[in-house]
Structure 1
């Protein structure tokens, strides 16, 4: 047995008792059925295989057609999509899992080829995303990364319309059987674009001061909480503490004062009674660590559950939970390659390696065919 007790203890979250502190974070896999960006039986299998997580969050699901920045990602706005997600939630609940839907709008990180009628993507301001890429289909099952198109700035009425679309998507998630929802406010996408002084040059109530730039977040949180209840709501941020070109390429927008920006953003969640805060850290080689004083400020500011995601080993994750700076730790790539990750952590079993070539798009290869440890040991015994 491994000494990761802190990760393996249950925790209460709203009406649920989560069986451990290990979370499956939102992971884009681009396997929705076409046409219609529909969740599939294969996706239901993928999620049910990973239902040993204490809490699961789906890959980002665009809340409307304009919210898509990558081909083959699932939506959560049509009846057919809701029906598809119902298969996923039923499969996860049959395995005793708890699953939230991530509500996603990419804003300016899109391309006219993905937009209804070939229109420009929407954004707080008509400032193109310089470092991000969109992904468009070039033939069935084939596509390419492209520079995002120049976006169009939303009118105030347009902003209000998008807020209403988030509320509708939250209702759609409940109708599909989800236990709650997570608002994607990270990685340089639409909510993050409003928060960021680098993407938001508005001069109305949604731009200028930090409090104005947080208004869109505040309104979405209120609208979604009114539908699902604040205790069934999470929000994800990426507060980066380095300003290199590499950081912007990988993960989006780096603020001049990330500590001040994100502590104020977290206050919005605290005032609304949001159930959990998810913080995605930089996760590439030699990525900057989150400052300890920021982690402590997060804990002082937010009374709900705190989740961190990054390049966590089980040991490092357990230390953060033991220090009471985190309540759950999300494991991305390890959970892709190890459907039974909580069991492997509990028993100290070795991990499967991930195949980078099958991360995005395709079928069951690199998706539902990663073996559980029990399968590997059975095969070894049979071979012997």
Structure 2
């Protein structure tokens, strides 16, 4: 039975597009189990089906184009085979009573030349950075490798990438997803445009807050045009230190972007807090300001436990909490959190790549 402290996590949450069964959401997590052609596998079908008790599953990032790939065995959403593979996942989750959103992903500069035809990745600017992608070594094991200095996207190419996001959204709808989430966090392409640490442009996409937010908002508008605002969420991570990005001055951008998203009545704002990756903890002033800028549904994530989730929901700063690593080893995490049960420990040696071990073989309570 839920405790008095955790009962708020069991309450349904009404989003503009759907109502969730609880407020324990599953955060997006790369697991590197896709098959040939970056197609979702049988193993992925079972993995997501097992976790259908989440109020909402947000899938691992799925590249919107071959250019958007930076990690081995990650799924895509640009081919007919990938759409068919994801349709098997959504069918399984829906049959188990769950809800699922696809995360739309372009890594930008966090890639390897082997994924880019021998050339560098793309970004806002051609600035060197300390980032790593993953590839498979000769033994078939996933390993981290340095990313090369990227090249800057031209204005014409920006328009092409915006169209890739729109097309990926259409594919997600065909695959049966309940929503899509735009990945604007963790140092990937959209945040590379938003952050002054990675954007040195002097054209309409660089300099001011408005200019640095232009490309992410063009993506939002394209995705919304393909579906509608209610079925679109976005993930942001102000002040994150991840993927070679140090977004130390990102709070102002976070609040500016939140206000522009509120004007568009977006389905939700997913806040990835920076302290899980070595960044600073967010203070109450920022949380209050974010809530003022975005009155819609806010999902909080990043080093959350049940106590933190309940506290922030009760204070009105977030409406639901997304859990990442605890969901790896606890497919029945909502039950465990609300009942105060002990959590399984995660075998971190088995997080990326491999088979069922450390992926679909964790026990439920």
The alignment's TM-score, normalised by the length of structure 2, stands at 0.96
Q: Which runs of 5+ in 2 are unaligned?
A: none
Which residues in structure 2 correspond to 1:138-287 (within 5 Å)?
138-139=137-138, 141-240=140-239, 248=241, 250=242, 252-284=244-276
- Summarize deviations over 1:258-289 as a string: whole Å, max 9, x none: 22121001112112111101111135487632
Number of the residue aligned with 1:376: none
Question: Does the alignment pair 1:125 with 2:125?
Answer: yes
Pick closer, same or farther for the CA change 1:128–1:251 going to 2, 3 Å: closer
How far apart are the structure 2 equivalents of 1:179 and 1:5? 26
Aligned residue number for residue 94 of structure 1: 95
Is the contact between residue 112 and residue 148 of structure 2 (CA under 8 Å) also seen in structure 1?
A: yes
TM alignment of 1:264-343, pairs within 5 A: 264-284=256-276, 288-343=280-335
* CA–CA distance in structure 2, aligned partners of residues 283 and 353 of structure 1: 21
Deviation at 1:231, TM superposition (A): 0.6
Q: Does 1:355 align with 2:347?
A: yes
SS in 2 for 1:129: coil
Aligned 8 A contact 1:108 1:128 in 2: no
Distance 1:316 1:251 in 2: 26
**Is 1:20 aligned to 2:22, yes or no?**
yes
Please name the residue that 1:64 is paired with.
Answer: 65
Counterpart-to-counterpart distance in 1, 2:278 and 2:225? 41
Q: How far apart, in 1, do the equivalents of 2:168 and 2:92 lie?
A: 21
- Equivalences for residues 40-119 of structure 1 within 5 A: 40-115=41-116, 117-119=117-119
Contact 2:195 2:250 in 1 (8 A): no
TM-aligned CA deviation for residue 42 of structure 1: 0.9
Conserved 8 A contact 1:180-1:228: no
> Alignment partner of 1:118: what SS?
coil
Distance in 2 (CA, whole Å) between partners of 1:233 and 1:269 is: 10
- Contact 1:185/1:191, CA 8 A, preserved across alignment: yes
| Number of residue pairs matched by the alignment | 363
Q: CA RMSD for the aligned pairs?
A: 1.4
Structure 1 gap ranges (5+): 241-246, 374-384
- Structure 1 residues 102 and 285, CA gap change in structure 2 (3 angstroms): closer
Q: State the match for 2:39 in structure 1.
A: 38
Q: In structure 2, what is the Cα distance between the partners aligned to 1:124 and 1:182?
A: 21
The 3-state SS of whatever aligns with 2:307 is helix
Residue 319 of structure 1: SS of its match in structure 2? Answer: helix
| Residues 205 and 211, structure 2, Cα contact 8 Å, conserved in 1 | yes
Q: Which residue of 2 aligns with 1:381?
A: none
* 1:191-229 CA distance string (max 9 Å, x none): 000001111111111111111010001100000011121
The Cα shift of 1:119 comes to 2.3
Q: Deviations over 1:32-58 (max 9, x none)?
A: 002x01101110110010011111100
Residue 214 and residue 298 in structure 1: after superposition, are their counterparts in 2 closer, same or farther (change >3 A)?
same
Give the whole-Å Cα distance in 1 for the aligned partners of 2:183 and 2:142: 24
How far apart, in 1, do the equivalents of 2:17 and 2:313 lie?
21
Distance 1:287 1:215, change over 3 A: closer
